[in-house]
Structure 1
């Protein structure tokens, strides 16, 4: 199974997701660190992603291979993350056949209604539990 973790800016959220995935899942799961910039990719690789790639073309190509995509809601919003998420990236992620687990972290001019305000680590824990449940991982 290939899990694509997508992040931008400094990669802090993606780095935390990769670290938690490594802690919770068997080692045979492949984790792709897909960064909209090299700092984000590097941060995720430091947390033991199997492979890393940076930029629009790398993300668009890699999400086609992924079984699961994990990131913030911002990864499907064109021009979010200060423009790092291009319309082509957002479309490729949204159109991907992969199961998507999106954390409710959005740009300042968005508000997602009906969601409980939780700390980042609890959101990541919830995302990992969703992945385990969806794919019957013990």
Structure 2
């Protein structure tokens, strides 16, 4: 199984996700760091990714070649992450047949109704739990 962790800007969220997935998933699970920029990719690689790729073309190319996509929900919004998420990137992610496990974090003015405010570590706990469920089934 191949899981893509997608993040941008400084890669901090992707770093935390990657670290937890690497510690809690079996070694045969391949983790791919897909960064909107080189810094985000580098940070995720140092946190345990098997490999990484950067930029619009890399993200579009890999979106339909992975079994699962994880990251903040903003990866689905064109122009999110201070403009780093291009419309083509968002479209590739949304159109990928891979299931998506997304953190309800956004600074793009989108409000997700029904979600209670939780600290990032709690949200990552939930994300990892859901990924483990999907990997085991």
Give TM-score, length-normalised by structure 1: 0.96
- Give the match for residue 131 of structure 1: 131
Structure 2: runs of 5+ lacking an equivalent: none
Cα displacement (A) at 1:134? 2.4
Partner of 1:60: 60
Separation (CA, whole Å) in 2 of partners of 1:3 and 1:9: 20
Secondary structure of 2:111's counterpart equals coil
1:21 aligns with 2:21: yes
**Residues 41-56 of structure 1: pairs in structure 2 closer than 5 A:** 41-56=41-56
1:108 CA drift (Å)? 4.4
CA distance in 1 between partners of 2:19 and 2:134 (Å)? 20
Contact kept, 8 Å, 2:74 with 2:108, in 1: the verdict is: no
The aligned counterpart of 1:8 is 8
Deviation beyond 3 Å, 4+ runs, structure 1: none
RMSD: 1.0
83-92 vs 117-126, which deviates more? 117-126
| Counterpart position of 1:94 | 94
What is the CA–CA distance in structure 2 between the aligned matches of 1:42 and 1:6, rounded to whole Å?
Answer: 12
2: CA distance, partners of 1:116 / 1:24: 25
Consecutive unaligned residues in structure 1, runs of 5 or more: none
Alignment partners' CA distance in 2, 1:26 and 1:135? 9
Between the aligned partners of 1:15 and 1:74, the Cα distance in structure 2 is 16
Secondary structure of 1:135's aligned partner: helix
**1:72 and 1:32 mapped to 2: Cα distance?**
15
Out of 11-20 and 127-136, give the one that drifted further: 127-136
Q: How many residues align?
A: 137
